[in-house]
Amino acid sequence: DTEVTQTPKHLVMGMTNKKSLKCEQHMGHRAMYWYKQKAKKPPELMFVYSYEKLSINESVPSRFSPECPNSSLLNLHLHALQPEDSALYLCASSQVETRKAKNIQYFGAGTRLSVL
Amino acid sequence: AQKITQTQPGMFVQEKEAVTLDCTYDTSDQSYGLFWYKQPSSGEMIFLIYQGSYDEQNATEGRYSLNFQKARKSANLVISASQLGDSAMYFCAMREVSGGYQKVTFGIGTKLQVIP
Protein backbone atom coordinates (compact mmCIF):
# COMPACT_ATOMS: atom_id res chain seq x y z
CA ASP A 1 0.00 0.00 0.00
CA THR A 2 1.13 3.51 -0.79
CA GLU A 3 2.26 5.73 2.06
CA VAL A 4 0.83 8.73 0.26
CA THR A 5 -2.88 9.08 0.98
CA GLN A 6 -5.21 11.14 -1.16
CA THR A 7 -8.80 12.06 -0.38
CA PRO A 8 -11.36 11.92 -1.77
CA LYS A 9 -10.89 9.12 -4.31
CA HIS A 10 -13.67 10.50 -6.50
CA LEU A 11 -15.15 13.98 -6.73
CA VAL A 12 -17.95 15.39 -8.87
CA MET A 13 -18.39 19.15 -8.77
CA GLY A 14 -20.23 21.87 -10.60
CA MET A 15 -18.46 24.82 -12.19
CA THR A 16 -19.51 27.15 -9.37
CA ASN A 17 -18.44 24.88 -6.51
CA LYS A 18 -15.44 25.21 -4.22
CA LYS A 19 -13.77 21.99 -3.19
CA SER A 20 -10.41 20.80 -1.91
CA LEU A 21 -8.24 17.78 -2.61
CA LYS A 22 -6.08 16.52 0.23
CA CYS A 23 -2.80 14.63 0.31
CA GLU A 24 -0.84 13.30 3.27
CA GLN A 25 2.46 11.46 3.48
CA HIS A 26 4.18 9.83 6.43
CA MET A 27 7.59 9.15 4.95
CA GLY A 28 9.34 12.25 6.26
CA HIS A 29 9.69 13.67 2.78
CA ARG A 30 10.27 17.40 2.35
CA ALA A 31 9.03 17.78 -1.22
CA MET A 32 5.45 17.31 -2.37
CA TYR A 33 3.92 17.55 -5.84
CA TRP A 34 0.60 17.88 -7.63
CA TYR A 35 0.18 16.33 -11.07
CA LYS A 36 -2.75 16.40 -13.47
CA GLN A 37 -3.33 13.39 -15.71
CA LYS A 38 -5.84 13.34 -18.55
CA ALA A 39 -7.06 10.04 -19.93
CA LYS A 40 -4.45 8.13 -21.96
CA LYS A 41 -1.81 10.80 -21.27
CA PRO A 42 1.20 10.96 -18.93
CA PRO A 43 1.03 13.00 -15.72
CA GLU A 44 1.82 16.68 -16.05
CA LEU A 45 3.42 18.59 -13.21
CA MET A 46 1.33 21.40 -11.71
CA PHE A 47 3.03 22.45 -8.47
CA VAL A 48 6.08 21.57 -6.40
CA TYR A 49 6.54 22.37 -2.72
CA SER A 50 9.99 22.04 -1.23
CA TYR A 51 10.30 22.57 2.54
CA GLU A 52 6.71 23.86 2.54
CA LYS A 53 7.53 26.61 0.05
CA LEU A 54 6.15 26.72 -3.47
CA SER A 55 9.07 26.03 -5.81
CA ILE A 56 7.41 25.40 -9.14
CA ASN A 57 4.14 26.61 -10.56
CA GLU A 58 3.87 25.34 -14.10
CA SER A 59 1.65 28.19 -15.32
CA VAL A 60 -1.43 26.60 -13.86
CA PRO A 61 -4.69 28.65 -13.96
CA SER A 62 -5.51 30.52 -10.77
CA ARG A 63 -8.67 28.44 -10.28
CA PHE A 64 -6.23 25.88 -8.84
CA SER A 65 -4.71 27.04 -5.55
CA PRO A 66 -2.19 24.85 -3.71
CA GLU A 67 -1.51 24.96 0.00
CA CYS A 68 1.13 23.18 2.09
CA PRO A 69 0.20 23.59 5.79
CA ASN A 70 3.15 21.46 6.93
CA SER A 71 5.67 19.02 5.55
CA SER A 72 3.21 16.12 5.67
CA LEU A 73 0.14 17.76 4.15
CA LEU A 74 -0.64 19.17 0.73
CA ASN A 75 -3.98 20.57 -0.38
CA LEU A 76 -5.29 21.65 -3.75
CA HIS A 77 -8.17 24.13 -3.56
CA LEU A 78 -10.50 24.17 -6.53
CA HIS A 79 -12.80 27.04 -7.52
CA ALA A 80 -14.79 27.81 -10.65
CA LEU A 81 -13.37 24.86 -12.57
CA GLN A 82 -14.16 24.10 -16.19
CA PRO A 83 -15.24 20.76 -17.68
CA GLU A 84 -11.79 20.42 -19.30
CA ASP A 85 -10.31 20.28 -15.78
CA SER A 86 -11.83 16.81 -15.37
CA ALA A 87 -8.86 14.50 -14.84
CA LEU A 88 -7.00 12.29 -12.39
CA TYR A 89 -5.11 14.44 -9.88
CA LEU A 90 -2.06 12.74 -8.42
CA CYS A 91 -0.07 13.76 -5.38
CA ALA A 92 3.52 12.65 -4.87
CA SER A 93 6.30 13.15 -2.35
CA SER A 94 10.06 12.67 -2.30
CA GLN A 95 13.21 13.46 -0.41
CA VAL A 96 15.13 16.60 -1.34
CA GLU A 97 18.71 15.48 -1.54
CA THR A 98 21.79 15.92 -3.66
CA ARG A 99 21.78 15.44 -7.38
CA LYS A 100 23.16 11.93 -7.02
CA ALA A 101 20.47 10.76 -4.62
CA LYS A 102 17.59 8.66 -5.86
CA ASN A 103 14.87 11.10 -4.74
CA ILE A 104 12.20 8.67 -5.83
CA GLN A 105 8.74 10.20 -6.11
CA TYR A 106 6.07 8.10 -4.44
CA PHE A 107 2.53 8.66 -5.59
CA GLY A 108 -0.89 8.44 -4.02
CA ALA A 109 -3.81 6.63 -5.63
CA GLY A 110 -5.17 9.87 -7.04
CA THR A 111 -8.47 11.73 -7.04
CA ARG A 112 -10.70 11.31 -10.09
CA LEU A 113 -12.34 14.67 -10.62
CA SER A 114 -15.35 15.28 -12.84
CA VAL A 115 -16.48 18.85 -13.47
CA LEU A 116 -20.04 19.16 -14.75
CA ALA B 1 15.03 20.46 -21.95
CA GLN B 2 14.76 16.79 -21.31
CA LYS B 3 12.71 14.37 -23.33
CA ILE B 4 11.50 10.80 -22.88
CA THR B 5 10.44 8.64 -25.83
CA GLN B 6 8.42 5.45 -25.59
CA THR B 7 7.71 4.10 -29.06
CA GLN B 8 5.47 1.15 -28.18
CA PRO B 9 1.88 2.30 -27.55
CA GLY B 10 0.82 -1.25 -26.78
CA MET B 11 2.46 -4.60 -26.14
CA PHE B 12 1.18 -8.15 -25.67
CA VAL B 13 3.05 -10.88 -23.83
CA GLN B 14 2.19 -14.45 -22.99
CA GLU B 15 1.96 -15.26 -19.31
CA LYS B 16 5.29 -16.51 -17.89
CA GLU B 17 7.24 -15.02 -20.80
CA ALA B 18 9.65 -12.08 -20.58
CA VAL B 19 8.93 -8.72 -22.19
CA THR B 20 11.02 -5.62 -22.91
CA LEU B 21 9.52 -2.14 -22.88
CA ASP B 22 11.59 0.45 -24.71
CA CYS B 23 12.58 3.89 -23.49
CA THR B 24 15.04 6.41 -24.87
CA TYR B 25 15.85 9.75 -23.36
CA ASP B 26 17.56 12.98 -24.19
CA THR B 27 19.24 15.30 -21.72
CA SER B 28 22.25 17.58 -21.51
CA ASP B 29 22.67 16.92 -17.77
CA GLN B 30 25.51 14.72 -16.59
CA SER B 31 23.61 13.74 -13.47
CA TYR B 32 20.10 12.37 -13.92
CA GLY B 33 17.85 9.59 -12.77
CA LEU B 34 15.64 7.26 -14.76
CA PHE B 35 12.51 5.62 -13.39
CA TRP B 36 9.86 3.19 -14.43
CA TYR B 37 6.37 3.39 -13.01
CA LYS B 38 3.40 1.06 -13.40
CA GLN B 39 -0.13 2.45 -13.53
CA PRO B 40 -2.98 -0.07 -13.28
CA SER B 41 -6.48 0.92 -14.31
CA SER B 42 -7.11 1.98 -10.69
CA GLY B 43 -4.87 5.01 -11.34
CA GLU B 44 -2.13 4.71 -8.75
CA MET B 45 1.42 5.29 -10.04
CA ILE B 46 3.57 2.52 -8.61
CA PHE B 47 7.34 2.95 -8.52
CA LEU B 48 9.13 -0.06 -10.00
CA ILE B 49 12.82 0.63 -10.52
CA TYR B 50 15.45 3.38 -10.56
CA GLN B 51 18.72 3.84 -12.46
CA GLY B 52 21.12 6.68 -11.72
CA SER B 53 23.26 8.08 -14.49
CA TYR B 54 26.40 7.31 -12.48
CA ASP B 55 25.38 3.73 -11.66
CA GLU B 56 27.66 1.30 -13.44
CA GLN B 57 25.48 -1.75 -12.93
CA ASN B 58 22.00 -2.23 -14.34
CA ALA B 59 19.29 -1.94 -11.69
CA THR B 60 17.24 -4.97 -10.72
CA GLU B 61 14.19 -5.27 -8.47
CA GLY B 62 12.74 -8.75 -8.30
CA ARG B 63 11.26 -9.57 -11.72
CA TYR B 64 12.11 -6.11 -13.03
CA SER B 65 15.45 -5.15 -14.51
CA LEU B 66 16.56 -2.04 -16.31
CA ASN B 67 18.78 -2.41 -19.36
CA PHE B 68 20.73 0.85 -19.16
CA GLN B 69 22.82 1.78 -22.18
CA LYS B 70 24.17 5.23 -21.45
CA ALA B 71 25.89 5.81 -24.79
CA ARG B 72 22.67 4.98 -26.63
CA LYS B 73 20.60 6.91 -24.08
CA SER B 74 18.26 4.01 -23.57
CA ALA B 75 16.72 2.61 -20.40
CA ASN B 76 14.59 -0.37 -21.34
CA LEU B 77 12.51 -2.20 -18.75
CA VAL B 78 12.61 -5.99 -18.77
CA ILE B 79 9.87 -7.89 -16.97
CA SER B 80 10.63 -11.56 -16.52
CA ALA B 81 8.04 -14.30 -15.99
CA SER B 82 5.06 -12.06 -16.79
CA GLN B 83 1.97 -12.39 -14.63
CA LEU B 84 -1.63 -11.42 -15.35
CA GLY B 85 -1.31 -8.68 -12.73
CA ASP B 86 1.40 -7.05 -14.81
CA SER B 87 -1.25 -5.80 -17.25
CA ALA B 88 -1.08 -2.01 -16.91
CA MET B 89 0.36 1.19 -18.37
CA TYR B 90 4.09 1.56 -17.93
CA PHE B 91 5.74 4.95 -17.87
CA CYS B 92 9.41 5.72 -18.28
CA ALA B 93 10.46 8.94 -16.54
CA MET B 94 13.52 11.07 -16.02
CA ARG B 95 14.44 13.32 -13.13
CA GLU B 96 16.04 16.71 -13.47
CA VAL B 97 17.37 18.35 -10.31
CA SER B 98 17.55 22.09 -10.15
CA GLY B 99 17.55 24.57 -7.30
CA GLY B 100 17.01 21.96 -4.61
CA TYR B 101 13.95 20.34 -6.08
CA GLN B 102 13.37 17.70 -8.67
CA LYS B 103 11.19 17.72 -11.73
CA VAL B 104 10.21 14.45 -13.32
CA THR B 105 9.18 14.21 -16.97
CA PHE B 106 7.20 11.18 -18.14
CA GLY B 107 7.05 9.44 -21.49
CA ILE B 108 3.68 8.77 -23.10
CA GLY B 109 3.57 5.24 -21.75
CA THR B 110 3.23 1.68 -23.05
CA LYS B 111 0.12 -0.37 -22.38
CA LEU B 112 1.10 -3.93 -21.57
CA GLN B 113 -1.41 -6.75 -21.75
CA VAL B 114 -0.52 -10.18 -20.43
CA ILE B 115 -2.34 -13.02 -22.16
CA PRO B 116 -3.19 -16.21 -20.23
The verdict on a CB contact (< 8 Å) between B103 and A102 is no
d(C-alpha A74, C-alpha A94), whole Å? 13
The identity of residue A18, as a single letter, is K
d(C-alpha B39, C-alpha B34), whole Å? 17
The verdict on a CB contact (< 8 Å) between A43 and B45 is yes
Averaged pLDDT, A77-89: 96
The verdict on a CB contact (< 8 Å) between B100 and A55 is yes
User: What is residue B28's predicted lDDT score, i.e. its pLDDT?
Assistant: 85
pLDDT of A76 above 90: yes
Residue A94: closest C-alpha in chain B? B102
In our burial notation (b when 16+ CB lie closer than 10 A, e otherwise), range A88-99 reads: bbbbbbbbbeeb
pLDDT of B99 above 70: no
Selected residue with higher pLDDT from A1 and B19: B19
pLDDT of A75 above 90: yes
The verdict on a CB contact (< 8 Å) between B104 and A99 is no
- Sign of the torsion formed by the C-alpha atoms of B53, B1, B25 and A56: positive
pLDDT band at B72 (very low <50, low <70, confident <90, very high): very high
Selected residue with higher pLDDT from A24 and A102: A24
pLDDT band at A99 (very low <50, low <70, confident <90, very high): low
Of B42, B46, B97, the CB nearest to A99: B97
- Count Cα neighbours of A69 within 13 Å in the Cβ-side half-sphere: 10
Q: At A85, is the secondary structure helix, strand, or coil?
A: helix
d(C-alpha A101, C-alpha B30), whole Å? 14
* Strand pairing class (A87-94; A111-115): antiparallel
d(C-alpha B67, C-alpha B58), whole Å? 6
How close, in Å, is residue A110 to chain B by CA atoms?
6
- Taking CB atoms and an 8 Å cutoff, what residues of chain A touch B33? 102-103
User: What is residue A8's predicted lDDT score, i.e. its pLDDT?
Assistant: 97
User: What is residue B2's predicted lDDT score, i.e. its pLDDT?
Assistant: 64
How close, in Å, is residue A85 to chain B by CA atoms?
17
pLDDT of B75 above 60: yes
User: What is residue B24's predicted lDDT score, i.e. its pLDDT?
Assistant: 97
Averaged pLDDT, A43-72: 91
pLDDT band at B56 (very low <50, low <70, confident <90, very high): confident
d(C-alpha B75, C-alpha B110), whole Å? 14
d(C-alpha A61, C-alpha A71), whole Å? 24
Among B44, B11, B38, B36, which Cα is nearest to B114's?
B11
Among B39, B81, B37, B35, which Cα is nearest to B59's?
B35
Residues 6+ apart with CB under 8 A from A21: A6, A7, A8, A11, A75, A76, A78, A89, A91, A111, A113
- Taking CB atoms and an 8 Å cutoff, what residues of chain B touch A92? 45
Percent of chain B beyond pLDDT 90?
81
Number of CB pairs < 8 Å for A and B? 65
Cβ-based interface (< 8 Å): residues of A facing B: 2, 31, 41-43, 45, 48, 50, 55-56, 88, 90, 92, 94, 96, 99-100, 102-110, 112
* Strand pairing class (A106-107; A111-115): unpaired
